[in-house]
């Protein structure tokens, strides 16, 4: 029995046989080819077929894995069809007569080095995507199979140096019990897909390829970031006890999901879901949540060849409004920018798109596009309880300009005799230190706040969430982040507006009671977490929590806070 440790990627535990994925090595030699034009033609045929396969995988992903997985595959297809990138290795082959595989690898290395040297997490992740696509093309040029098939009917735990999103999607999900990789970070695309599939994942485990052999039993703990090779009988028994306990808890959570989210001392808390693709809209169960705390609208723009029409957007917003059966829907206006390239938008290529022309900045600049979306939302408000939320607000001026456009859209509809709700509440996401520091003034202008912790952590801690070396800073337990959250809640309540949270921290089991005690009014989480969060709320005493969280200000280090949270959770019970 041996324990190996890595990074906690996707929560959960599994005990299955290991399947070690060892890819056939590809040897690259510069060499020369007899006919460069024939070599180029062969490559273009391979590239075209691969792009078509990626299109098919995107459709498969949308049906079986969700829109986020489909978006990743669509991004891979875009890279495969990038003529500007591949023209460089093609010119090299034509000029020097070298092999296409060598030329592609050469171009890939050059571009990826540039991206990997940037601070922007999107650029780093794009380097991984480019490398994955190029590697697959090279393997196909060399006639090396990348097929990943799991024999037999029993699930396995995949062990690999790294897994691409394509690997994860191609595997029969019924046979994938979890995975552990030698490389990779906790925000990688493969981890995102593991969470979507509901399987445990451990990443960044440097010794795993030498420590595990195919066929060995592997006890994987994705929640804590470790695995045990060939666990003894006692360890297996502990796993089975934990598994049995988890099944019992799942039953409690399912029951809690259909009950009101009210604390033991009568404090009402909203527990909503995050949504933002056709699948989640169709699957919305209004009896199991208090509404939609974050409805992302980007999918309406990503799947188009031109700006989506007002009617198309209206139909989508009306559908979710009607599905919510009178419960609130917070629609976030378009949050897109240089990190998501859409041909019809002609967005500028930026060195750091996360700090550039995106979200509300783009919308305020392209008023016709923004007004079209606002008109569609307002029209849909006649069919349900809608709210409008602006992303990336960092000044009061931006908020006032956006509110003025909402008013303009409403006046236009009135003049045209088009029905809409007499008042649609307008709020903002708090996701930057600037918004935190200005939250006392923003609270005078907004009707609600929603804290987006994913970006807030990154911007506050100056931490690249894709960089394994600084993962210890990218945590919601970072004291500066928690102090920022406390400040926002306090400033919001001072002006009488509710404060919610729609980032991943809202479903972090370590933080639930703490966030309740700080006064968070709304938790917006993935649908699978609704029952667990409601259960926590239903078994909490709001007054006692408010008194207990004052201790937060005494801690100086993340370690001190995490130890306190762990003891608090143990005291409250594992189910919370």
Cβ-contact 459, 398 below 8 angstroms: no
Ordered strands of the 176-181 beta sheet:
2-5, 226-229, 217-221, 13-21, 156-160, 176-181, 201-203, 7-10
- Tell me which of 112, 134, 189, 477 is the catalytic residue: 189
CA triplet 439, 354, 339: central angle to 5 degrees?
140
Q: Any catalytic annotation for residue 477?
A: no
Beta strand 156-160 with 176-181 is parallel
219: tokens are: 């006890």
Phi and psi dihedrals of 280, rounded to 5?
-70, -30
C-alpha 430/C-alpha 436 separation (Å) is: 7
C-alpha 458/C-alpha 317 separation (Å) is: 30
Element housing 390 (H / E)? strand 385-390
Cβ-contact 11, 221 below 8 angstroms: no
C-alpha 369/C-alpha 372 separation (Å) is: 5
Cβ-based neighbours of 565, under 8 Å, separated by 6 or more: 477, 510, 511, 514
Q: Any catalytic annotation for residue 243?
A: no
C-alpha 14/C-alpha 176 separation (Å) is: 10
C-alpha 547/C-alpha 533 separation (Å) is: 21
- Tell me which of 134, 363, 477, 502 is the catalytic residue: 502
Catalytic residues: 189, 502
């Amino acid at each position: 029995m041996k324990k190996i440790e890595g990074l906690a990627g996707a929560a959960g535990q599994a005990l299955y046989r290991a399947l070690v994925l060892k890819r056939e090595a590809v040897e690259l030699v510069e060499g020369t080819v007899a006919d460069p034009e024939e070599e180029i033609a062969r490559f273009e045929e391979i590239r075209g077929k691969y792009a078509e396969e990626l299109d098919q995988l995107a459709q498969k992903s949308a049906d079986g894995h969700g829109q986020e997985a489909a978006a990743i595959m669509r991004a891979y297809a875009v890279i495969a069809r990038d003529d500007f990138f591949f023209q460089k290795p093609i010119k090299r082959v034509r000029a020097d007569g070298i092999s296409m595989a060598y030329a592609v690898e050469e171009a890939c290395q050059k571009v990826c080095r540039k991206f990997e040297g940037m601070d922007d997490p999107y650029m780093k992740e794009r380097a991984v995507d480019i490398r994955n696509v190029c590697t697959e093309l090279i393997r196909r040029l060399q006639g090396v199979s990348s097929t990943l098939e799991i024999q037999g009917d029993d699930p396995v735990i995949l062990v690999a140096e790294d897994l691409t999103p394509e690997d994860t999607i191609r595997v029969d999900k019924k046979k994938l019990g979890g995975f552990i990789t030698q490389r990779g970070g906790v925000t990688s695309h493969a981890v995102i897909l593991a969470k979507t599939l509901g399987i445990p994942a451990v990443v960044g485990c440097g010794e795993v390829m030498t420590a595990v052999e195919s066929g060995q039993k592997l006890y994987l703990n994705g929640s804590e970031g470790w695995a045990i090779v060939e666990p003894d009988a006692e360890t297996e028994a502990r796993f089975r006890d934990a598994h049995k306990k988890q099944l019992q808890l799942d039953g409690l959570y399912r029951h809690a999901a259909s009950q009101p989210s009210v604390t033991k001392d009568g404090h009402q808390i909203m527990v909503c879901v995050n949504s933002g693709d056709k699948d989640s809209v169709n699957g919305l169960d209004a009896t199991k949540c208090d509404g939609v705390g974050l409805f992302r609208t980007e999918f309406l723009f990503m799947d188009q060849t031109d700006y989506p029409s007002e009617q198309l957007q209206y139909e989508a917003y009306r559908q979710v409004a009607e599905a919510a059966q009178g419960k609130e829907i917070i629609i976030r206006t378009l949050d897109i920018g240089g990190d998501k390239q859409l041909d019809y938008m002609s967005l500028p290529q930026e060195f750091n798109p996360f700090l550039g022309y995106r979200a509300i900045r783009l919308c305020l600049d392209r008023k016709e596009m923004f007004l079209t979306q606002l008109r569609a939302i307002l029209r849909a408000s006649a069919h349900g309880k809608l709210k409008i939320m602006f992303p990336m607000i960092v000044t009061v001026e931006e908020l006032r300009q956006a509110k003025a456009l909402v008013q303009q859209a409403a006046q236009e509809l009135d003049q045209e005799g088009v029905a809409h709700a007499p008042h649609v509440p307008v709020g903002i996401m708090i996701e930057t230190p600037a918004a935190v520091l200005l939250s006392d003034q923003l609270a005078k202008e907004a009707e609600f706040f929603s804290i987006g912790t994913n970006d807030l952590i990154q911007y506050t801690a100056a931490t690249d969430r894709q960089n394994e070396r600084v993962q210890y800073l990218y945590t919601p337990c970072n004291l500066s982040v928690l102090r920022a959250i406390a400040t926002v809640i306090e400033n919001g309540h001072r002006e009488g507006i509710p404060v919610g949270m729609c980032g991943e921290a809202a479903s972090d089991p370590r933080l639930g009671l703490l966030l309740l005690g700080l006064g968070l009014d709304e938790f917006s989480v993935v649908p699978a977490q609704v029952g667990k969060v409601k259960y926590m709320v239903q078994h909490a005493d709001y007054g006692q929590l408010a008194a207990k969280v004052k201790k937060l200000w005494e801690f100086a280090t993340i370690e001190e806070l995490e130890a306190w949270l762990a003891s608090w959770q143990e005291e409250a019970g594992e189910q919370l």
